[in-house]
A and B are shown apart, each in its own frame.
Chain A
Amino acid sequence: MRTSRCNAALLSVVLIGCVSEDRPRVDETPAMEPVIVAEGLNGPAGVLVDSEGVLWIADAGTGGAEQLSGTTPGTNQPITFTWGETARIIRVDPDGTTTDVAMLPSIMIPYGAIGVGRFAMLDGSIYATVGGWEAGISVDRLAHAAAVVRVDEDGVTEIANTWDLENRENPDAGPRETNPWGLTTGPDGALWVTDAAANSLLRVDPGTGEVELKAVFDVAPGVIPNPDRGGAMEREAVPTAVAFDAAGNVFVALLGGFPFQPGNSRVVRVAEDGLVTDHASGLTMLADLVTGPDGQLYGVSLTEFTQQGPTPASGALIRIRPGAVDTLLAGLAFPTAVAFGSDGDTYLALNPMGQPGAGTVVVYPGLVR
């Protein structure tokens, strides 16, 4: 893959932002240098810092030697996937000790591997979204693929899978495919999941494994024919992350579907009855959304994707306030996830797509308080 240009200036960043009296404080260091806390990663997709200061990292893996066969949706062309249990949940203790605590399915596709996605912490246990699945594959769903899992002293336990609902109901009326991705704990004690392929928001009961459909995200007008929609000029929503504010309102980041034009990404609010309304629009490739230590919503823009393809080092960390969006960091190399630790420490997963071993997690000490 032609990723050499994407590796340029991996850690060259510029702090942009204004400080005013009525805005949450951002550190005023003019040029903040990040500290690398993990490197050599394969497609880091999620980060979380727990109450004990442990950093959790989701690694997509490198596929493997096993093969899956199937047919492409709509064309019935034979295809072969490779996969292996090379996706990792990595634990980094405050003293720097790094441990692979779980190995999970990693399925290789042309632009990279799909493995572990995002994390949530609930009742002292770590939960993660893993992989995806689709119609046409010749075998039954792999264990732990298209699933929410719990990792604890007992090992990895599959709590729920998102394929059953998608295969049964296909709520967005698109191809039958699921990719549980965004994950957070709700004020109701449940796990909330965005399915990036099925374009849905799901609520998962961690005790029973019941998966409840909470919202479906509609297509939006597009600029090229969408083969998944019969050639209609439409683009998929692609929900990448879910977050709650202090009042219990749920917000979802929508990446904005291929060809990912700048300004086509947005944050929506989902009401109790599943009604979806715009909260912030005009954003670009929002890959993650979290609630910061100040109660505001923070997200990462993956890259500026244009008619020439992805623009190197064009990712950003943004804060989404009512009626305004602030850029805190710019020039980032494909940031895929953000998490906050104590004292405003801001962690970012940087993920040069398709380049094994080139992913990193960095921290900006005290960036957001």
Chain B
Amino acid sequence: MPPRFVALLAACAFAALPALAAAPELQLVIRDHLFFPSVLEVPAGVKVRIVIDNQDPTPEEFESYELNREKVIPGNTKTVVFIGPLAPGEYPFFGEFNVRTAQGKVIAR
């Protein structure tokens, strides 16, 4: 391959590096059918990786209509959910299996 072509490829690869940067990660714990923390602050316009740790022995379903997310998390297991990029605002979520207590919201700034 001609050297100029190789140089161009390398320049493109370096330019693409920021896109490969990992999404910011947040921890969410489910304990006693409650979310800790119940308010998650995330940067707006960025994809966010949420690690949900269900510390209850029973399963929970993390769900949000505004975020369009829904995932069943078996008891004593951990899982990952990606949200965003989000416009600034508030996005409530809840635990569908214990909907009266497990409630929280994501605030994007």
Q: Do chains A and B interact in one complex?
A: no
